[in-house]
């Protein structure tokens, strides 16, 4: 069940049986020469949609532009300032809370989002405490690539060259979502250099084609379908436990 394709009476009926919702959250940033720019948002969205279908869980709109300043030297990348992102996340959550949602589960696809989202959580909890709100209310942030079983599956599929950005695993998920974008051409070097990230200019110097430690030439539609299947199953269990907490 998706919020964007539901009517308000359908959402009202959903709230009578559950007050929990999944929000996919990602980024709009370069993912190397063969990865599509919406990769992080698409991965979170595809897994959330599949998990929502299996678990009969409401899935909200995808938060698809995140904190990604370090990718801004690559055309097409977009970013929010951390303060902007924190403010928008707070407004999204408080809007949902006003309707009675009290378990907000963010399924994340981009590491740069973690700090702003956690700041938003701290701000929301503080506001509720200072307002004297005694209602039970919880939020959770979970990276899809850290769901139980997914690190092990990634290691099994890509024992060498999965990487940390434009990873073979995430590129496979996007290929499964958009098979027409499957691009398995060899890249040079096959495995991109490793390193830390900071400013966008230094990022482009350190990682000229946008990849970090990855070889997405290994990526394929079949792997992506397998990852989505495993991640969705794990997501349903994780969300169920959170909603019952």
Q: Which of these, 11, 26, 101, lies nearest to 71 by C-alpha position?
A: 26
Q: How far is CA 143 from CA 19, 146, 158, 165, 204, in A?
A: 21, 5, 19, 14, 25
Tell me the mean pLDDT per 10 residues along the chain, length 245.
97 98 98 98 98 98 97 98 96 96 98 96 93 87 98 98 97 98 96 93 96 98 98 98 96
pLDDT computed for residue 153 by the predictor = 98
pLDDT computed for residue 135 by the predictor = 76
pLDDT computed for residue 136 by the predictor = 86
* 235 in Cβ contact with 48 (< 8 Å): yes
Q: Where along the chain do its domains lie?
A: 3-244
Q: What is the three-class DSSP state of 37?
A: coil
Judged on CB neighbours under 10 Å (0-12, 13-18, 19+), 23 is buried
pLDDT computed for residue 132 by the predictor = 85
CATH of 3-244 among 3.40.50.2000, 3.40.50.720, 3.40.50.10310, 1.10.3720.10: 3.40.50.10310
Q: Which of these, 104, 72, 105, 31, lies nearest to 203 by C-alpha position?
A: 72
């Amino acid at each position: 069940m998706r919020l964007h394709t539901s009517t308000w009476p359908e959402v009202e009926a959903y709230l009578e049986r559950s007050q929990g919702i999944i929000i996919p959250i990602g980024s709009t940033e370069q993912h190397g020469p063969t990865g599509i720019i919406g990769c992080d948002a698409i991965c979170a969205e595809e897994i959330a949609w599949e998990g929502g279908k299996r678990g009969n869980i409401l899935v909200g709109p995808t938060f698809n532009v995140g904190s990604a300043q370090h990718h801004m030297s690559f055309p097409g990348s977009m970013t929010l300032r951390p303060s902007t992102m924190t403010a928008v996340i707070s407004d999204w959550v408080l809007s949902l809370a006003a309707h009675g949602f009290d378990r907000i589960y963010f399924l994340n696809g981009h590491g740069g989002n973690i700090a702003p989202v956690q700041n938003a959580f701290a701000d929301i909890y503080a506001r509720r405490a200072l307002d004297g709100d005694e209602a039970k209310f919880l939020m959770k942030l979970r990276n899809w690539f850290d769901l139980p079983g997914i690190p092990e599956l990634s290691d099994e599929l890509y024992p060498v060259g999965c990487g940390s950005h434009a990873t073979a695993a995430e590129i496979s998920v996007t290929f499964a979502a958009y098979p027409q974008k499957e691009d398995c051409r060899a890249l040079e070097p096959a495995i991109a250099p490793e390193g830390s990230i900071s400013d966008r200019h230094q990022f482009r110097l350190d990682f000229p084609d946008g990849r970090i430690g990855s070889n997405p030439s290994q990526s394929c539609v079949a792997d992506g379908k397998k990852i989505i299947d495993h991640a969705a199953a794990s997501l349903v269990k994780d969300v169920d436990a959170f909603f019952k907490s």
